Structure 1
Amino acid sequence: MEIRHLRYFVAVAELQNFTRAAERSFVAQSALSQQIGRLEREIGAPLFVRGARKVELTPAGELLLPHAHRIIADEAQARAELRSYLGLEKGRLRVGLIQTAISAVDVVGPIGAFHDRHPGVDIHITNQTSTEMVEAVRAGALDLAVVGMAPKEVPEGLEHRLLAVDPLVGVACEKVASGLVGPIALPELIARGRLIHFARGTGLRRHVDEALHRVGLEALSSFELAQASDILRFAALGLGVTVVPQTLAEYGRTMLPDLEIPYAVFGLRDPDAVHPVTVVYDPQRIPASGRAFLEILEEFVPHKRK
């Protein structure tokens, strides 16, 4: 099973068309079809159902596709590793980062420090939900990711280092929060307005949902926002109430000068209502650049946690 055959297979699977796959792969369609046929004979099963307008994966093709992605990613990483085996003079670093405003850890400073120490390494930054970035680490598309997950939430097969644990707090505009005295229980906050929630798939969304479930509340919301700053703006405007990490609540007061209406922040009575920040990586795949970044990241963590 050759890497080029797997690349052709992935191209056809993604484009569902032999002609477009051949164009993307810079080979003649006849040559690509021939190589796909060779791969099918080697496997002993058809990989595609060939239709008049498009092709679709067979069950065998569905089974092979994630493995093909991983093998191709591993081959690319191996090439990068070999280019930099004499040191961190070349190569690349692929990092996934949660939004800086909601992280209790400085995730930008380590990037700058790494660039200063290893200027020859190409740095690629991805900002997605925690769930998406963890899956990217598992698939070999990211070398490591700083995510909003607790160690117990990290999938089996990945290593992790807990970097920080940020308490969750309630936020509401002063008019909506009138009469509330912290620390408060979540039902007291939710009774004051609709919940302004973070997007699904994020670590913060999961941790807020868990806190709601502990007090018997459903995690229903008509506002689901992807940007941390927008959540604070909606709350400050009195459009609802929200639950965010303490770091984000403090960030909004100092870094969002356009918020003309001040908002109130309340500690929560639930000691388990926290937002952990963890770095995850695959110990079998992490390159030298990734390990060097981990060391720098540790320097920016105020208190080491196990």
Structure 2
Amino acid sequence: MELRHLQHFVALAQEMHFSRAAERVSIVQSALSTSIAMLEEELGVRLFHRTTRQVRLTPAGEAFYEKAILTLSAARDARRSVASVRDLQSGSLVVGTVQTLPAFLDLPAILAAFHMAYPGIQVRLRQGNKLDMPAQLLAGELDLAITSMMDCPRRLQTRVLGDEPMVLVCAAGHEMARHKRIGFEALSRLDFVDFQPGWGTRPIIDSHWKDLAERRVVFEVSDLDTMLDLVRRGLGVAIVPRRNAAVADGSLAAVELIGAPIRWGMVLMHRKEEDAAVSAFLDLPGLEPATAQAT
């Protein structure tokens, strides 16, 4: 059963005249007769009493007419809804992020710009563990995810938003502050402040350290500000993206890591079969693909 068969049926039920109904739906009278016959054959009942002078609904036709009207109305609503989403007049966009984002990515400003451009799209923001985000994207629970660099399934597309080396950061008065460069072998005796396992840049660092001497992590935190405050007070050192180590008050010192550099990347992930809202979000200023920064 096709929608056009229902349209033909409703037109005939309302006009009660084959030639007028055929003209209304822009087909020839013989095509209308064939369409009605196919519908009756599929339903296994006669929908119209036909005589040479009159066309009228059978009891089955009267019952079917009510359902046909509702079905065509629902189809029109569905088309309007799809068109509305396509034209970004309505719909939703769910964005997942890690808890700590880099300073160069002003996500509140980006979300505000999207809302101003597309006020009919409801935007929802979810913070969570980056390891969960690929599965949430594939399941449709997220439309986009902004997270640190990671491997992702083939069905997901990634855009690199930032790529730079990571450095050792310590308090300005720490013994490490007098070095401009340092190798990893000299770090095993230091106390570290880092994110909780699985959070932020921790997986990158742990992966790099697995073939090196054991690292002593004495403070585990969930946000960058707390990490840097603990480092600033001399309670440990940390490894962070280079731009996070730059502070105006001179309370922190950055030391270049040599031997086996660690790089950090921030990526935006989404399903390859992106919809109109995702495409519009990707076009916003502030989300341009990054070029790698040299060490």
Could you tell me which of 288, 301, 305 is aligned with 2:276?
288
1:301 paired to 2:288: yes
**SS of aligned partner of 1:244:** strand
Q: 1:185·1:269 contact (CA, 8 Å) conserved in 2?
A: yes
| Runs of 5+ unmatched residues, structure 1 | 1-77
Q: Which residue of 1 aligns with 2:128?
A: 128
Letter in 1 for 2:84: S
Structure 1 residues 172, 79: closer, same or farther in 2, change over 3 A?
Answer: farther
Q: After superposition, what is the alpha-carbon deviation per residue over 1:118-174, rounded to whole angstroms, capped at 9, x for unaligned?
A: 111111011212112233212211101011014xx1223211112210221111113
Kindly state the Cα deviation for residue 85 of structure 1 after the two structures are TM-superposed: 3.1
**What is the count of residue pairs matched by the alignment?**
215
In the superposition, the TM-score normalised over structure 1's length comes to 0.62
Rounded to whole Å, the distance in 1 between the matches of 2:180 and 2:272 is: 43
Answer yes or no: is the 8 Å Cα contact 1:170–1:266 preserved in 2.
yes
Q: What do residues 196-220 of structure 1 show as CA deviations (whole Å, max 9, x unaligned)?
A: 1112222511111133235x13355
Q: In the aligned structure 2, how far is the partner of 1:220 from the partner of 1:194?
A: 5
Q: Output aligned runs, 1:1-306, within 5 Å.
A: 82=82, 84-99=84-99, 101-102=101-102, 104-150=104-150, 153-178=151-176, 180-191=178-189, 193-213=190-210, 216-250=212-246, 253-254=247-248, 262-270=251-259, 272-284=261-273, 286-296=274-284, 300-301=287-288, 303=290
Q: Label 1:283 to 1:196 Cα distance change in 2 as closer, same or farther (>3 A).
A: same
SS of match in other structure, 2:116: helix
Aligned partner of 2:57 in structure 1 is none
Residues 57-92 of structure 1: CA distance to partner in whole angstroms, max 9, x if unpaired? xxxxxxxxxxxxxxxxxxxxx999737335111111
The 1:179–1:111 alpha-carbon spacing in structure 2 relative to 1, beyond 3 Å, is closer
Opposite residue 113 of structure 1, the aligned amino acid is A
Q: Which has the higher strand share?
A: 2
**Using the alignment, how far apart are the partners of 2:79 and 2:260 within structure 1?**
47
In the superposition, relative to structure 1, how do residues 94 and 147 fare at CA in structure 2: closer, same or farther (>3 Å)?
same
Asked if 2 retains the 8 angstrom alpha-carbon contact of 1:99 and 1:228, the reply is: no
Compared with structure 1, are the counterparts of its residues 296 and 267 closer, same or farther at alpha carbon in structure 2 (3 Å cutoff)? Answer: same
**Structure 1 pair 109–301 and aligned structure 2 pair: CA distance change class (3 A):** farther
Cα distance, 1:79–1:273 mapped onto 2, change above 3 Å: farther
Alpha-carbon contact 1:149-1:203 (below 8 Å) kept: no
Report deviation, 1:303: 4.2
1:296 partner amino acid: L
Q: CA deviation at 1:231?
A: 0.5
C-alpha contact 1:163 1:277 (8 A) present in aligned 2: yes
CA distance, structure 2, for counterparts of residue 241 and residue 124 of structure 1: 35
Alpha carbons of 1:79 and 1:138: their partners in 2 closer, same or farther (altered >3 Å)? farther
Structure 2 gaps of 5+ residues are 1-77
Q: CA RMSD in A?
A: 2.9
Over alpha carbons, which structure has the higher Rg?
2
Are 2:86 and 2:276, in contact at CA under 8 Å, matched by a contact in 1? no
**Same amino acid, percent of matched pairs:** 26
Give me the whole-angstrom Cα distance separating, in 2, the residues matched to 1:268 and 1:149: 19
